Structure 1
Amino acid sequence: MLRPCSFPIALLCCTTVLAGCATGSGAKAAKVIPQPPTAVLPPAPAAPALPDPAVALMAESDQHFTTGQQELTLGHLERARSEFNRSLDLLLESPDGARADARRREHFDRLVDRISVLEQGALAKGDGFTETRTEPASIDALLAIETFDTAKPALATAERVEADLETTTHDIPIPTNDRVLRYVELFQGRLREFLTDGLSRGTQYLPMIQETFRAEGLPLDLAYIPLIESAFKPSALSRAQARGVWQFMRGTALENGLKADWYLDERADVEKATQAAAKYLKTLHRMFEDWHLAMASYNGGPGRVKRALTRSQKNDFWQLSATTRYLPRETRDYVPMILAAVIIAKNPAQYGFDIAPMVLPVTESVTAPPALDLRRVAEWAGVPVDEIQKLNPEFRRWTTPVKTGAYSIRVPQGTADRVREGLASAAPGQLNAMQWHTVKQGETIAAIAKKLRVNRTDLAEANYLKVNSRIKVGTRLIIPRMPSSALLARASSADLENAAAATVAEILAETTALPEPAPARIYRVRAGDTLSAISRKTGASVAQLKSWNKMRGTRLNVGDRLIVQPPTAKNANQ
């Protein structure tokens, strides 16, 4: 008998109940197939927003500006100007212009301001006529050190030095007195770092110096004089204005065949200065016939040493310098300091020094014309301008001299062909940009300098003149200042190129008006000479003789060398 099904549970269970009823009734059970869950699709992505053309334009403009900054840091002025111009041109040449909306207008104005600031900074750093950087000469600091003569060197120092001298060959006499030994100890102590750095730097130049001295028949120990004079720094400049590794005063440099003017100073050319040093040292040795006295005169001057010998009636440096009466302390200390440096330099390991050699950069030479901006050379070579300056420390300015001639420039190996190609393809206006002034009636060097706001000494020397030189009406003078528009300003670049091309073409065509300076005339004092007598013989006034020779009084000594006509342009109007 069939029983009706009941529904004692909620509707949620009716499927189960019905299945039970069916079973109870004998009907076949239905198969339940589970259904997979319905997939939930993510929302469709929004259509990509179209890029803002103004933002993209400003970003591209900024990229050119950043590249220009990097080129300017390397001293590549033409490339910097090109990038800065491009950063502005992108905005100016856009369909809506540089001031289409507030954002673009603000970006453009800020960009112009930033470029202007960089331009002024570039001019302040170096306008082509600014003098290149120098370093303090070590000799000033070393000779200022007191060695306390009462301090007795350690016995161990004396024994070590004496043992070293027995096995190490020297070609100048080296005594082991207390004054030399004190400096050996000083170099091993608080001056250790100085000597280590100097010896490391000297490894670049010592082979060349020793080869030059060997050829001239000079003692090779003298090759270490620059260790004390300059720590082998070509750009070293002393408080007395001595320059280069050999620390030549300008007058002595000119006497020994070096050029030294407003543009070029061969005292900083290590090879040429070494040749001049060999010549000068041979002269001093012929004069004194003693290397210690020759070294003392290298520092204090031959006139001073001669006077000291005359007053003291002595002919030995150590006797002469044993008292404070005859020589200044700097000269008395100079010779033992050099000898102590030679002792250590010949055998540094013996004294606890570990010298890491420096390698001289391998270079090539390029012949350059007058008035060539060294920053263009750096740009063509693809190196920072600082590297070109380090390779050519004899150039005092960022330009080769403007007078007629060919100038050799050292560039890194592998770059000479690129520089030559740059020179060959560059228009005259791309070599440099200079300003000229044509002298008018009544104008003087001082008046022109004041009018143009430049230093009158620079104005005179840039034109191979003196400050008090008379200048003829119509004379064209180089103004030692580069026009600011020639560097980075965009506004009149086309006009600028035309003007610069004409200007520099005139430089190259007319620099024959700036002849080679005549060398200084030197007069050697004879018995019975007075300043008045020398003035009558040479035509120079007594005041000029005292000024040119930095004399306070009128006393002369036989054998003194006096400048009776300083170097000057042969055709300069005095």
Structure 2
Amino acid sequence: MRAFLKELVVLAAICLAAGCSTAWQQIDSCNISREPKGVASASPPAVKATDLRYRDVTAKTAASLTQTVSPADCLMPAEGNQVVKAPPRMEEKVSEATSATESPHRNTLKKSQQLLDEALEFCTASQDFWAHGDFEIAIAALEQDSSLILQADINDDPKLIQQKEDIRFMISKRMLEIYASQHTVVNGNHDAIPMVMNRHVRREINLFKGAERNFFIRAYKRSGRYRMRILKALKEAGLPEELSWLPLIESGFNVKALSRARALGLWQFIPSTGYKFGLKRDQWIDERMDVDKSTQAAIAYLRELHNIFGDWCTVLAAYNCGEGKVLRVIRNQNINYLDNFWDLFEKLPWETARYVPRFLAALFIVNNPKQFGLDLTDPDPPCEWEVVTTSKQLHLADIAKVLGMSEKSLVMLNPELRYKITPPTSYELKIPEGKRSLLIAKMDKLPAYIPSSRLYSYHRVRPGETLSQLARRYHTSVRAISNMNNIRRENFIRAGRRLKIPTGRRWPVYVATRKASSLQSKSIEYHVRRGDSLWLLARRYKTNIQQIMRLNGMKSTRLHIGQKLIIPKGTHQPPPRGSTTKYRVKRGDSPYQIAMRHNMKLERFLRLNKLTPRSKIYPGQVFLVDVE
């Protein structure tokens, strides 16, 4: 019987390659399906990509499974929805004549039809058992099904031949599906991802041994930080353990890896997909960089893809380029798709087609690096942590100082913090094991971070403007503007585009709450205005730059508009905010000279007087300047 089932599997593959949609149409037109006797009806598993070729006819066939149809009904002609019947007397005469002259051939066909009907019931029962997870009983039902169709003597009857072939095809297809599902639901099954070695995989192995050797070694070393946590989550979810190496291909085990498509983190989620699977992203945190949360999101996504495709290699291709693109390739196949990624390989985009062999190449190498000539160093030690809940905004540098560790090490534990600052709401901060009680004891003494009203401003690009000009104007860098606006070509920006300009998010403001009260009588609070600098403020308030920076916990001399500063009081009182006076231009003056003479930024002087860098000034003109 097992040999016969193998024959059916081969037959299924041949039928699929030849295109057996007519078989399904015949099943539908004949309505030979029945409900199994004594078996509770159950919803079948989700339709896989295997069935997409037969979507229309399968829908009809599924509908017919809910009906009980007499085999004889399939052979009777019909007009519309009514069965054509002879008059009563004629029926009696025909019945008498039939019973009197019924031949052995007729009896054989009738018996064969009954066997095929019974076989179809077992096939449907197998579907129900499979839906409930009873794999062995489902296979036993298919074995009984196969035995019944072998007993059917069809005697060259074309309708019975078609029915028998259709049922054979259904049995073999169902057998493939059951065996495939058994291989994918067992926890930690190492055979779930087939280790195929072909020319495509060998090419990727050669790349890892050659041009990408350093990348592979560094990624393998970083894998030690997170892989054991990922492996544990995969085992708990019942997914193949080999998937724990997928971040090596996705991001090189770099939690902050950012692709050209704005995919971020170990698992390279784009914002929309991350949001779909519950990854939070706001002003302060991006959970795509959170190891545990992004891993759970990846598991949910991979499980969803496997429910669609049923083949792990195809799942990986869909993970790379999206399920929609893979489904379109499957629908456009000239031959039928039978859960085999390599049938799709030539039709997929090159990056996606390369993705799966690249992953398999990585598996071959990590399983036996010496065989492929790679001397892999020991992985980094795993990152272990415990959690402390914070309720106010803190900078990781201050926390690291209290814990007696480097800021870099603390950032590595909390990569989801976008600016190394905890959010204003409750947040679970990860710290090294054994440090929890120390941090809780000193939490109240940590200086609170007070954010500015906005971390960026907007600018509408004008003709002729460049990123370097904007960077100088707003006291930032070209790279910061490019990163915030996803600009790939830094030498090209389009006029009319609205850009986000960072305004000092790297230079946070601190207020040490304990010092503030004691210094309140000796200092004032100042809001930074456009054109201000620490040098100007120190000169205006008769103090020095170092004292202002120390009082505000600043690590950089850069300021941003709206920033709050605590400035020591001196003998000089500042002018009212926005105080200006008039200045009459003299011969030989230039905008730059006037601005410097009045301790103004050139940009401040031009904006105040509605001038441009190309504007000409003449003796006798009157302009506004800041009061010193």
Please report the TM-score for the alignment, with normalisation by the length of structure 2: 0.43
Please report the TM-score for the alignment, with normalisation by the length of structure 1: 0.47
| Higher radius of gyration, 1 or 2 | 1
